[in-house]
Structure 1
């Protein structure tokens, strides 16, 4: 049997059968104790856990029996972020949760072919939270709807939950490479080469947008004291929210959509295919309803038909912008069956101090190295000449380094090359990208594995830089950068960017 995941907004009505059975399955899993491997909170703990945050949101009690140490070490705090394992780990995680919900559905007399819906917030008219998740009542008007979460505050902190589609994008679908590079160049569609990475610092393209943005803005942060951060906005609590799973089904769908292009290839290196367990680190695994453990590798997550499910539609819904240019030559890295892009990453410039993300706007200047700037300009001119055989211009990236803060629900947009008197709202062509630093509070903790270094984000600005050069505005010694919060961060957020830099990536 092939299970078909369908668009939650196109199932017929607000409480269509797929949604109603999902709610019943969630309720059954929620009825189990914290220490029961097929319980709702146990599954959420696999994604992340922090006792103080769970207590704050009402999900951890003094009477709870915690998981055994063996279960905690095997299953909990396992999610992969800032890693090339981000997509395959989450695919297996969602697959296992879906199997557990389906077992509950069947036990309650429901359909044996039940499948998890997905939320395609990019489709016109479907950016709002699906109604069944926003009501405290079941469809008969009686309370205790298991899909409802009180701590969802939305983009403006007022409880109106939606995805601001003017600030999310599908740019990552145009990245030709699954695996990116470190050092400031493209992080690739799927992320950079890492080992087991529960809270990695460098987010890949599809993770940065739309994944992080939807998490941060759906969860949000209350405008009312004590400015509580919603469950979805924090990796340590996100799995507690039933909408989490529909969001991740959509991210999984976008991976399948990226794979439709036959030039888009998943990694073929053994450490990725076989996962971190092949190098002595933790295995990816999840408890199943029959009491067994589902242990999986990225290689086993590559093909949907092999996994027994499909999506009703792989169309992204919004066309991503055209790619910046041809991918260029590739070289063999010496490992059989592996071709990697030939890349040269060079710093073009950086600012000289940390940038607080506060108030309505923050400004800084990136000082440009004249030699590197000249290379960028020369390659743009050569490409514009139309001469046959000339290489594409460099890809250029804006790096936001060591982003630190205390609130995962903040969000901001970054503009490049605006004049002092130009209003960012009137110049969308200068928008480098929008960031919701999902996981920033944990990454800013000095007890974290990265010693409080924060998160790093890479935004492609090739198109902006090309136009600035053609307008003669790249000849200056520096470029302006504006950081515009979606709404002024609360005083407790303490959000800052350690350094902003520009790099060129040639091929």
Structure 2
């Protein structure tokens, strides 16, 4: 019999308020009773992910007169979450383990089943699971009394209430089909797990899984306040919409357990996945990743234990979940995964089969095809259209590769929204490429490059921040769209249209701006 603790699907526990979620609520309640300065409090752990004290005070989560963490604790623990980085997945795995251990200690103190208890996960891609779990929707406990610690008011997104939401209309699991953990970046693939970085708390380019579905689900749950604004007129974000408050919402940990589950699924499920290289479906094996940012003298990954002492960890230790003492009840992703199958792509393009098959190799070379002449401001609820002028010579090299006239595999093509800045994290928008202004719905869908969430844009736009307000980048693979344009004979224009359609109205006060839109080819 397995001695591993099993993280279970919250929708398959047998009934609402089944023991795993009931004990979670009881543990959260105990942690919420402690002050912010206490290393083992709910708010301290929220601050480890990111802290925005003025917002917390306004929402009544903390008291303006309540002391914050000491300077030593701030320097050691606070504002530590890794985003837009190949550390995103291992850092959050350690974070989940730490809060799970802390809650388990509270369950033990309450006389509950602490040895077997594990965090549940929310698989929002599963059938009938695309609504907030019922235990999080009501301010009441199952007996009808109030003060349910799993309920928070500040969930204003379409997945933050009681109604199901068509999650497939905004996100998907396509990143699980990318066999490479860390792509080359620089305008092309960032890989499944993210670009190589140092300690990276804000700004830059997300990896595939972080961008989609991680960022999207944060915005779909949190949304923005329908009534309250900052002094600049920008709507206040829901807790889940901003990294500086997300971990205050108890649904955060179930969302991240699902992201962690998808990482494990990428590694091992299904067995026997085709590989074109020995490193496919493998975590990085270089010391910069294995030893974490402390290897280069940057901050360590460190969490408080239940007794308040420090637990320091590295990505090396985060790779094998069985060695960490837990497992998942199901590694099936929950939706279809579109992989980069080179043999199938060659067949569609009419190119002779190559000697190798299986997933596409993530080539390490890139070349800019073109870029917009100026930046782009986004506001309102309507579509914003622009064009990207392409270089004829580079476009010709892409066309030659797609026609099989090159000795290498067909190029991959990426659209980049660079240096996105602004003051409002809850923005989500669709991006269309090569689309005529009067296109019908079916044609529009064929030209959809993807959805982008601006989770973290406010802190990444801070001029005093680590990246001097450089904002965030969104890299969307448009290889499939370019293949279709090529086959239809429509990939010879000097300009490629780009259309951006917001999910909800973007306030002008949000000051959302895209610094540049660029196109890159990735080739062998």
- Shared topology, TM-score over 0.5? yes
String of CA shifts for 1:217-246, please: whole Å, max 9, x gaps: 110012334333100000000010000000
Would the alpha carbon gap of residues 248 and 441 (structure 1) be closer, same or farther in structure 2, given more than 3 Å must change? same
| Residue in structure 1 matched with residue 245 of structure 2 by the alignment | 237
Distance 1:52 1:225 in 2: 13
Distance 2:265 2:28 in 1: 28
Distance 2:370 2:471 in 1: 21
| Residue in structure 1 matched with residue 348 of structure 2 by the alignment | none
Which of 295, 302, 306 pairs up with 1:278?
295
SS in 2 for 1:307: coil
CA shift for structure 1 position 307:
0.3
Could you say what the CA RMSD is over the residues aligned between the two structures, in angstroms? 2.1
CA shift for structure 1 position 181:
1.9
Distance 2:31 2:375 in 1: 45
| Residue in structure 1 matched with residue 28 of structure 2 by the alignment | 26
Distance 2:468 2:400 in 1: 41
1:209 aligns with 2:233: no
String of CA shifts for 1:293-332, please: whole Å, max 9, x gaps: 21100000000111000000011011111315279999xx
CA contact (8 A) 1:127 1:165 kept: no
| Residue in structure 1 matched with residue 367 of structure 2 by the alignment | 346
| Residue in structure 1 matched with residue 256 of structure 2 by the alignment | 248
| Residue in structure 2 matched with residue 98 of structure 1 by the alignment | 100
- TM-score by length of structure 1 reads 0.93
1:179 aligns with 2:200: no
1:194 aligns with 2:197: yes
SS in 2 for 1:259: helix
Distance 1:398 1:487 in 2: 23
1:309 aligns with 2:309: no
Which of 253, 265, 269 pairs up with 2:282?
265
SS in 1 for 2:510: coil
CA shift for structure 1 position 423:
4.2
Would the alpha carbon gap of residues 72 and 161 (structure 1) be closer, same or farther in structure 2, given more than 3 Å must change? farther
| Residue in structure 1 matched with residue 127 of structure 2 by the alignment | 124
1:449 aligns with 2:466: yes
Question: Could you list the runs of 4 or more consecutive aligned residues of structure 1 that deviate by over 4 angstroms after TM superposition?
Answer: 156-163, 326-330, 423-426
Distance 2:71 2:367 in 1: 46
Map 1:346-495; keep pairs closer than 5 Å. Answer: 346-359=367-380, 360-382=382-404, 391-423=408-440, 426-495=443-512
String of CA shifts for 1:247-303, please: whole Å, max 9, x gaps: 000000010011014731100110110111121111101111133321100000000
CA shift for structure 1 position 156:
8.6
| Residue in structure 2 matched with residue 334 of structure 1 by the alignment | none
SS in 1 for 2:131: coil
CA contact (8 A) 2:158 2:220 kept: yes
- TM-score by length of structure 2 reads 0.90
* Equivalent residues, number: 493
Would the alpha carbon gap of residues 29 and 238 (structure 1) be closer, same or farther in structure 2, given more than 3 Å must change? same
CA contact (8 A) 1:405 1:440 kept: yes
Would the alpha carbon gap of residues 209 and 46 (structure 1) be closer, same or farther in structure 2, given more than 3 Å must change? same
Distance 1:158 1:257 in 2: 28
SS in 1 for 2:295: helix
Map 1:279-298; keep pairs closer than 5 Å. Answer: 279-298=296-315
CA contact (8 A) 2:159 2:165 kept: no
SS in 2 for 1:165: helix
CA shift for structure 1 position 425:
6.7
CA shift for structure 1 position 426:
4.9
Distance 2:196 2:431 in 1: 26
CA shift for structure 1 position 429:
1.3
Would the alpha carbon gap of residues 141 and 158 (structure 1) be closer, same or farther in structure 2, given more than 3 Å must change? closer
CA shift for structure 1 position 186:
0.2
